[in-house]
Amino acid sequence: MPLSSNAPVPGAKEFYPLNDPEIGTDEKIPLLFQPVTIGGTTFKNRIFVSPMCQYSSSNGHATDWHLVHIGGFATRGAAAIIMEATAVVPEGRISPEDAGIWTDSQIEPLRRIVQFCHAQGTKIGIQLAHAGRKASTLALWVKNNYAAASVEQGGWPDDVYGPSTIPFADKFATPKEMDEAHLTYVENAFVEAIERCEEVGFDFIEIHSAHGYLFHSFLSNLSNVRTDSYGGQPLENRLRFPLRVIKSCREAWSKPLFVRISASDWAEGPEKADDGTWKQWGIEQSKVLAGELVKIGVDLVDCSSGGNWAQQKIPFSHGYQVPFAESLKKAYPSLNVGAVGLISDPEKAEGYLQEGKADIILLARELLRNPHWPLTAAKALGVSMKVANQYERAA
């Protein structure tokens, strides 16, 4: 910020006015367009593309749709793109048309996308996932989609797994409770997926621990009623399996590691009852989780919410999840935190960064509506943003 007096350069032999900011810099560049370094990797700005399921994969393999969809973001100014939830095992897909990285033949289609993004100077990561009890469901646009996909529809309703035998909703599959052998199988699958990510050339990885999928369902006592060391009232039990896998992922991956969490189940009632028992997953437990992720060496927490309770009541509005990100940032100032949630207004997005509520801004639906949002934001904030050479005559 500009000085209020004509201060001298400290330690100079004569009086020279102190330049603050330094000569050659521009104090007016908004934080949204300033570089940020996370886990040793520098991103050119703080606009990230959230993972968005496309339900357009061929037996888990990326297609030309993904090349065009992801490639379009790479040419329009975002610093980083997170590819959609990508299952580490076939039965861990959300839908029959979901992305996967459980076999080597899935490497090359992903590598083609990564190489194109890198050619445009854009970082790209992938969200590794297991859908848990919400697996084997229909694509969003299929009529009566809020239900399990049958075998005839390409689904696997009898091969769905979760922490407990509690289905997500009436028309969803009833999951099988994971035993120790299956827990180890899934953990190993994440590590093997990371080895494939190395071959593909991704710049970072995000572990999906949100939206009611496998890891979130272990965290919440609405979906985890186990009586062993992986469930029940004790928070450390419900944290145990997600942290175990994330720790293994951290040991296997040297580049930036992100984790997406749901900071609240948005179920009715308090997070904790007057008698001290946990009633649902919420921000207080999320702060404990974030602290454990810091210890493991996770580089960024991508702070979302919801998805684990079919009757959730969410107060949708611009930036409605930002208060959760702010809470995590206040609890762990050194932790990089991403804000997401119907963010569309550039001035408000810049405000979240300026106020220290988050370190990066993630957008999803707004980028589907307007892939050129980085340029829109630059104009709104008075930034002269470089556009792709091929698009300059329109700028």
The CA distance from 156 to 179, in Å, is: 19
Residue 64: helix, strand or coil by DSSP?
helix
Distance CA 162, CA 134 (A): 9
Contact by Cβ (8 Å): 210, 260:
yes
Nearest-10 Cα torsion for 93, 67, 303, 228: 20
Alpha carbons 95 and 174: distance in angstroms, whole number: 16
Q: Which amino acid is at 63?
A: T
The residues near 127 (Cβ < 8 Å, ≥ 6 apart) are 51, 82, 83, 84, 85, 86, 205, 206, 207, 208, 260
Contacts of residue 328, Cβ cutoff 8 Å, sequence gap at least 6? 263, 286, 287, 290, 301, 303, 335, 337
Six token digits for residue 108:
């090359």
Q: Which among 264, 263, 219, 215 has a CA at the least distance from the CA of 237?
A: 219
Q: Do 380 and 346 contact (CB within 8 A), yes or no?
A: yes
What is the distance between the alpha carbons of residues 114 and 124, in angstroms, rounded to a whole number? Answer: 7
String of DSSP letters for 258-293? EEEEES----SS-SB-TTS-B-S--HHHHHHHHHHH
Query: Could you give the residue numbers annotated as active site?
Result: 213
Name residue 311's beta-bridge partners: none
Q: What backbone phi and psi angles, to 5 degrees, belong to 70? A: -70, -40
137: which strand partners?
A: 148
